[in-house]
A and B are shown apart, each in its own frame.
Chain A
Amino acid sequence: MKPNTARNVGSGDRWKRLLALPPMGYLLIFFAIPTLIMLFASFRYAGEYGGLAPWYGNEDGSLSINLTLENWQRLFETDLYLRLFLKSIMYALLATLLCILLGYPLALMIARSPKKHRDLLLLLVILPFWSNFLVRIYAWMIIFSPSGALTRMMNVLLATVGLAPVSLMYSSTAVIVCLVYVHLPFMVLPLYANLEKHNPALLAAAQDLGANRWRRFWDITWPLSLPGVYAGAILVFIPVLGTFAIPDLLGGTDGIMIANVIKQQFVESRDWPFGSVLSMALTAAAVLVVLLSAKMGTRRGTLR
């Protein structure tokens, strides 16, 4: 007799299958179909007054199919957009690296603190993340503002060395700092989840065998934590790649990223087909990164 486990549903429980239908239907309609529509829109002509032109038929009633590769060609015509993609990827890489640099000590400290304190410390990491996204950006607008204490202090220091004053607001520095600030919890949480599972006996054994703390870290803790690092890196890299609010508010003209141009195409210039092309390219870049890091993650895994 076959045991009737939860995964092996008996005929009486077949109705359970139907339960998954409503969410599946909802996501099909409001996620999968809109994505396909956007893919389709990337091959259509822009309407005269913005939006989309009809994709079949003419005004005189004759039948024709109006689809084009022009929008995609425009992406490669100049190196403007490719450069912007590259720049956004560099920003995202830099933000990810800084998140690892800042998030690692924090995650390690929490994982090695007494068990009763861990929940509270984790909550302290998540808490700023629960405050509104725009509030967190806005906080940095205050800090970087020309009349703010940070800028004035820096300029006093610069003046004593005889350098011209600088402005932090509307610079790529401001964008990167804020990107790191907003996405740091995404790095700390998966890292902590990994570090917490490490067996302390390994470190004790290494110490008994004479390894100093640097060797203990680089030979044991770091390689074991790589899956956590990869998970965190994906969680930081992808949303950063698609950010438009932070460069919009802190970046000025220098600090814009690819998502700013997407927003511009959809909202200001209302060139939806080209906006769709850029969005699909961003999707492709995001998917590529996930696949790449998944591959790297598994290769590391087999090496160990």
Chain B
Amino acid sequence: MKHKNLALILAAGAVFTFLYLPLVIVVVYSLNDSKLNAEWVGFTWKWYDQLFHNRALLTAARNSLMIAAISAGAATVLGTLAGMGMYHYRLKVLPALVLTPIAMPDILMGVSLLLFFIMLNMSLGLISIVLAHITFCIGFVAVSVRARMSGIDPSLSEAARDLGASPWHCFQKITLPLLAPGILAGALMAFTLSIDDFVITFFVAGVGSSTLPLQIYSMVKIAVTPEVNAISTLLMVLTLILITLTARLFPGALRS
């Protein structure tokens, strides 16, 4: 028995190495004082310093944060409603509408939204990006909220209603607090998905507006530079902080 466990742990360790080694390499090279991602030359912060003087990158980062905040906010409201709707009613249309966008390859949503926006004569830019991001985030929030709904005892809100609470009062005092971890997990997911999205944004962004992933893509497409290592490392640190904060503030939110 011990022997088998050892083999299993070794195999799993190898897979963990596979998962983390590439990211470690990115971080290490971001601190390397060489233009090439090859040999270790010496320690430097200069790539980070360059980042903060890269106008295009800073604008893209600001755009990304703004887009993610707005889309995650809107998708959280709509997704929570959809999740509750999916729990309460056996409408076949709603789950189909909510779940298919999650299951489809991203590129399909990207090109169909491009066609749609062009057909409406909408100019592509921050607004079209936000509208697209809300579309693919709703499903993830809805699934998270729907899962949380199943864990709530319905007799709680029934009791509140029997004792004379209005539907809104009951929602505010009973359902919403119980749902909160599910909503929060969904919101966090939506925010990260939005910040992270490259494929759909690529099609609906138009020429004038850039996001962080689009900017990284064009940098990488031209040349592999240590500056990309630095921005990548910063992004990883940011995500790590976000996750740790959520785990500290709301234990249980990450579990669902």
Which A positions have Cβ atoms within 8 angstroms of B? 4-7, 9, 12-13, 15-17, 19-20, 22-24, 26-28, 30-35, 37-38, 41, 51, 102-103, 105-106, 108-110, 112, 119, 123-125, 127-128, 130-143, 145, 147-149, 181, 184, 213, 234, 238-239, 241-245, 249, 259, 262-263, 266-267, 272, 275-276, 279, 282-283, 286, 290
CB-CB nearest in chain B for A6: B154
Q: Check: B118 CB closer than 8 A to any chain A CB.
A: yes
Task: Give Cα A102 to B142, complex, Å.
Answer: 30
Interface residues of B in 83-130 (CB under 8 A from A): 84-91, 93-94, 97-98, 100-101, 103-109, 111-116, 118-119
- List 25 contacting pairs A-B, 8 Å CB cutoff, sorted by A: A6-B154, A20-B81, A20-B84, A22-B81, A23-B97, A27-B101, A27-B135, A30-B116, A30-B132, A33-B116, A103-B15, A106-B11, A125-B19, A131-B232, A131-B236, A132-B216, A133-B197, A134-B217, A135-B236, A141-B220, A234-B103, A242-B108, A263-B202, A279-B112, A283-B108
Chain A residues whose CB sits within 8 angstroms of the CB of B196 once the complex forms = 132-133
> Closest approach, in angstroms, between the C-beta of B88 and any C-beta of chain A?
6
Chain A-chain B contacts (Cβ-Cβ < 8 Å), number: 243
CB-CB nearest in chain B for A285: B105
Contact of A138 among B138, B203, B216 (CB under 8 A): B216
Given the known interface contacts A23-B138, A51-B118, A149-B38, the answer about A290 and B103 at a Cβ–Cβ threshold of 8 Å is yes
Chain A residues whose CB sits within 8 angstroms of the CB of B239 once the complex forms = 130-131
Given the known interface contacts A6-B87, A20-B91, A22-B78, the answer about A213 and B4 at a Cβ–Cβ threshold of 8 Å is yes
Closest 3 CB pairs of A and B: A242-B105, A20-B85, A139-B22
Contact of A106 among B4, B12, B106, B235 (CB under 8 A): B12
Most buried by A among B19, B109, B119, B132: B19
Given the known interface contacts A37-B116, A286-B104, the answer about A6 and B94 at a Cβ–Cβ threshold of 8 Å is no
Decide if B192 touches A7 in the complex (CB within 8 Å).
no
Chain A residues whose CB sits within 8 angstroms of the CB of B235 once the complex forms = 131-132, 135
Decide if B111 touches A142 in the complex (CB within 8 Å).
no
Chain A residues whose CB sits within 8 angstroms of the CB of B199 once the complex forms = 244-245
Decide if A30 touches B131 in the complex (CB within 8 Å).
yes
Task: Give Cα A119 to B135, complex, Å.
Answer: 30
Chain B residues whose CB sits within 8 angstroms of the CB of A27 once the complex forms = 82, 97-98, 101, 135, 138
**A7-B88, A279-B112 given; 18 more Cβ-contact pairs under 8 Å:** A23-B78, A23-B142, A24-B97, A27-B138, A38-B115, A102-B18, A112-B5, A134-B217, A134-B220, A135-B235, A137-B220, A139-B26, A140-B22, A142-B29, A145-B224, A238-B103, A244-B107, A267-B203
Q: Check: B53 CB closer than 8 A to any chain A CB.
A: no
Task: Give Cα A145 to B229, complex, Å.
Answer: 14
Given the known interface contacts A130-B192, A132-B232, the answer about A242 and B107 at a Cβ–Cβ threshold of 8 Å is yes
> Closest approach, in angstroms, between the C-beta of A193 and any C-beta of chain B?
12
Total chain B interface residues with beta-carbon distance under 8 A: 88
> Closest approach, in angstroms, between the C-beta of A17 and any C-beta of chain B?
7
Chain B residues whose CB sits within 8 angstroms of the CB of A137 once the complex forms = 220
Chain A residues whose CB sits within 8 angstroms of the CB of B85 once the complex forms = 19-20, 23-24
Contact of B112 among A38, A140, A241 (CB under 8 A): A38
Which B positions have Cβ atoms within 8 angstroms of A? 4-5, 8-9, 11-12, 15-16, 18-20, 22-23, 25-26, 29, 36-38, 78-79, 81-82, 84-91, 93-94, 97-98, 100-101, 103-109, 111-116, 118-119, 131-132, 134-135, 138, 142, 154, 157-158, 161, 167, 192, 195-199, 202-203, 212-213, 216-217, 220-221, 224, 228-229, 232, 235-236, 239-240, 243, 254-255
Chain B residues whose CB sits within 8 angstroms of the CB of A184 once the complex forms = 15, 18-19
> Closest approach, in angstroms, between the C-beta of A148 and any C-beta of chain B?
7
> Closest approach, in angstroms, between the C-beta of B234 and any C-beta of chain A?
10
Decide if A23 touches B79 in the complex (CB within 8 Å).
yes
CB-CB nearest in chain A for B29: A142
CB-CB nearest in chain B for A30: B135
> Closest approach, in angstroms, between the C-beta of B138 and any C-beta of chain A?
6
Given the known interface contacts A30-B131, A147-B37, the answer about A245 and B198 at a Cβ–Cβ threshold of 8 Å is yes
Task: Give Cα A97 to B73, complex, Å.
Answer: 37
Decide if B107 touches A286 in the complex (CB within 8 Å).
no
Chain A residues whose CB sits within 8 angstroms of the CB of B79 once the complex forms = 23
Chain A residues whose CB sits within 8 angstroms of the CB of B236 once the complex forms = 131-132, 135
CB-CB nearest in chain A for B135: A30
> Closest approach, in angstroms, between the C-beta of B11 and any C-beta of chain A?
4
